[in-house]
Amino acid sequence: MALSHARTTHVRRLGGIAFVLATLIALAVRLGLNDGGWPLFVPAFVSAGVIAWPIRPMVIVAIVVTAGLLILGSMTVGLLYGFPLVPLIFALATFRTQPDPTTA
């Protein structure tokens, strides 16, 4: 399904928001709390992938990876990864098919 330029821009913008949030969380946990390692930056990396390739499979991969880190770290700071998960879910909603106004 081809997206219009406006929808592609919207998906990229939401991916950018997720990237910024995931990066800030990873930096705060890694530098501020001195906890964790390179897996903290994986959600930021896949969110950057959404910016580069605003397609449905990339958004789904970003959601799964971010949700996986949220679940695996749910007893510690992993719950913070729910914040970048929200714009990714909204980006996925952008791919909904719109009803044809002539048949509605």
pLDDT at 1 over 60: no
Domain boundaries, position 72 = 5-93
Residue 98 lies in a domain: no
- Averaged pLDDT for residues 58-70: 92
**71 domain-assigned:** yes
Query: Domain tally for the chain?
Result: 1
Q: What is the pLDDT of residues 16-44, one digit of tens each?
A: 999 999 999 989 888 887 777 788 889 99
> Is 48 a member of any domain?
yes
Dist. CA 64–CA 66, nearest whole Å:
6
